[in-house]
Homo-oligomer: A and B are copies of this chain.
């Protein structure tokens, strides 16, 4: 899971361990456990470097798991074995290890979350060393089973599969769903290691949805279970060996007790109170310059002591300039606007309850939790369970608002949402982190399929606001006026519109606001990202003599065709979708205009995401998909050659 926070500023110079030094640690003449600990610390330094340079990334989980990842790669894995992380957001840790082993090009160290670089979550197509795409939680053991069955079927038996999971991840039903057949088929090739750092996203697992007696649970499913200190190779190595010896014929799971942020004292959760309002600060996002310096100093010092004890000189770090980063001057922040309004509305609407799937910070729910704690239901990373609970609450007379990232909310509980809609009740679904940006987390988190996945829910309205004002209108309409369920699609990145946001007092179903007038063509879209680019594109096209109307249309499914056709006045319409073309707003526009009751328009063009989204900076990603101002202007101009 992924927040999009980047701390302000950035360190002036960043330090990293170069290949020769990494090679020295990898081949250190020492006990394997000593060597692995030193190697892992060097990789920690490079994780910090990558994340500080990228401006975002998951430090906490990369650090909690990096001793496990290092040990496996140095001492355990052999040809034919596979290793992957099911949680996936520990990718910087994996990349650092693979770079240190020479299995990824060293120059990729500078390319975390950059176009053509190392994606925020693992991706097989861009990174051949990656075994499978993860980042959507809970799929790891199922995939391990598929690999083992394929190997057995293909006459290549014997390869082992090591899967790292998170602990919050174990709240996902698929984890438990996947256990049974592994035991029934005696898939002894599989070893699962749980990175049990006890914090999921920002608070303690026990406070979100306590795992209970994890050993007893997994053993009851017929697996062999071990436990160790996952940040200490002297504990980890023997525990893996013991488990292998004890259960040669069964799938195995090792609970590795770890610390989130392990290896940097102030990133470890010492003193983080249970059930408090304080959040763990290093789940995602880059460290501040001061934090970066303190963290590097601490690791460097400990590593020097390790090396000195082995009669070795300290690690020599190399330096590189930190990239400059700028923040938008007056961005629209939709998620906080949504969240504050939801909490406000709950004052007058006692039926309103808010359900969260371990993303309360990222979905704007902190104000609601603070002001209405008794009506805040933390469900953990269990979206199916969350939605079905909400469905029953709605049947019992409440008005539930259900939250997660759009990529998860529209897909994982897709059948549960349909089931709720068939009951004729009203539930509000708020999906944040939608669209191409932030471009850093990669395609598991870039929600560009949610309109399609939810588009045919009977009675559901789909809305995407472009501004803070519109975000407030959307949730107000959903709570007060909507006749059925509503999906509110929220861009999470603070975003500069480049034009004055419309100030309509209320939403008119099917219609939007004209933010720019022009007589040649109409550009229509929803949300701040495509509208800011469309507005800028219209400016460029005007310089070339082509005047475009730009329409902010928050309705993603219900489109007032005659109203839009009148705006187009016979000219072409360009639909801009922060989403795949299929099933996006453009399809709804085309269908509304194709019916016989609209005036004819010249054509409906869909400018949309045309392939699995690229990972990179926001600018890189929009440009790569032709959805930046320049790309839009070029495509609109090309479609109207006689006019430019």
* 1/0 contact string of A436-469 vs chain B (CB within 8 Å): 0000000110001100110111100000000000
Q: Is A136 a contact partner of B419 (Cβ separation < 8 A)?
A: yes
A211 contacts which of B144, B180, B423, B582 (Cβ < 8 Å)?
B180
A residues 152-180 near B (Cβ < 8 Å) are 153-154, 171-178, 180
Cβ-based interface call for A123 (8 A) = yes
Stretch in contact with the other chain, from A297-305, A330-338, A489-497, A592-600: A592-600
Q: Chain B residues with Cβ under 8 A from A586's Cβ? A: 591
Contact A422 B397, beta carbon cutoff 8 Å = no
Contact A395 B222 (CB under 8 A): no
A380 contacts B173, CB within 8 Å? no
| A102 interface contact, C-beta 8 A | no
Question: Are A395 and B639 closer than 8 Å at their CB atoms?
Answer: no
- A583's partner among B173, B384, B583, B590 (CB-CB below 8 A) is B583
Of chain B, the residue at the smallest CB distance from A378 is B181
Please determine whether B132 and A212 come into contact, CB atoms closer than 8 angstroms.
Answer: no
Q: Give Cα A397–Cα B154 distance, bound, in whole angstroms.
A: 9
The answer to whether B149 touches A389 (Cβ under 8 A) is: yes
Taking A380-B180, A594-B590 as contacts, is the C-beta distance between A150 and B415 under 8 angstroms?
no
Closest Cβ of chain B to A519, distance in Å, is: 19
User: Which of A91-99, A406-414, A499-507, A616-624 forms contacts with chain B?
Assistant: A406-414
B456 near A583 with CB under 8 A, answer yes
Please tell me which stretch of A33-41, A264-272, A547-555, A604-612 contacts chain B, meaning at least 4 of its Cβ atoms lie within 8 angstroms of it: A604-612
Within 8 Å by CB of A392, from B146, B183, B449, B602, lies B146
A520 interfacial by beta-carbon distance below 8 Å: no
Which residue on B lies nearest to A460, using beta carbons? B582
- Measured between beta carbons, the chain B residues less than 8 angstroms from A216 are 220
Q: Which of B142, B211, B388, B424 contacts A142 (CB 8 A)?
A: B388
Min CB distance, A573 to chain B, in Å? 8
A177:B171 contact, CB within 8 angstroms:
yes
Q: Does A588 contact B (CB under 8 A)?
A: yes
Given B212, B455, B611, which contacts A180 in the complex, CB threshold below 8 Å?
A: B212
How many A residues have CB within 8 A of the partner chain?
114
Q: Does A581 contact B (CB under 8 A)?
A: yes
A579, B125: Cα distance in complex, Å = 34
Check A392/B147 contact, CB under 8 A, given A154-B398, A181-B379, A581-B591: yes
Minimum CB–CB distance for A28 against chain B, Å = 34
CA distance in complex: A71, B296 (Å): 68
Which of B145, B456, B582 is the one whose CB lies under 8 Å from A389? Answer: B145
How distant is the Cα of A133 from the Cα of B211 in the complex, in angstroms?
A: 29
Interface: A234 (CB within 8 A) = no
Contact of A144 (CB < 8 Å), options: B154, B392, B444: B392
Provided the pairs A154-B398, A587-B583, A591-B587 are in contact, do residues A210 and B180 lie with their beta carbons within 8 angstroms? Answer: yes
Does A112 reach chain B (CB closer than 8 Å)? no
Flag if B389 contacts A146 (CB, 8 Å): yes
- 22 pairs across A/B with beta carbons < 8 Å? A124-B395, A132-B395, A143-B388, A153-B353, A154-B396, A172-B173, A173-B175, A174-B385, A177-B382, A178-B385, A184-B210, A220-B220, A407-B415, A411-B415, A422-B443, A452-B453, A456-B579, A582-B588, A583-B583, A594-B604, A595-B605, A600-B600
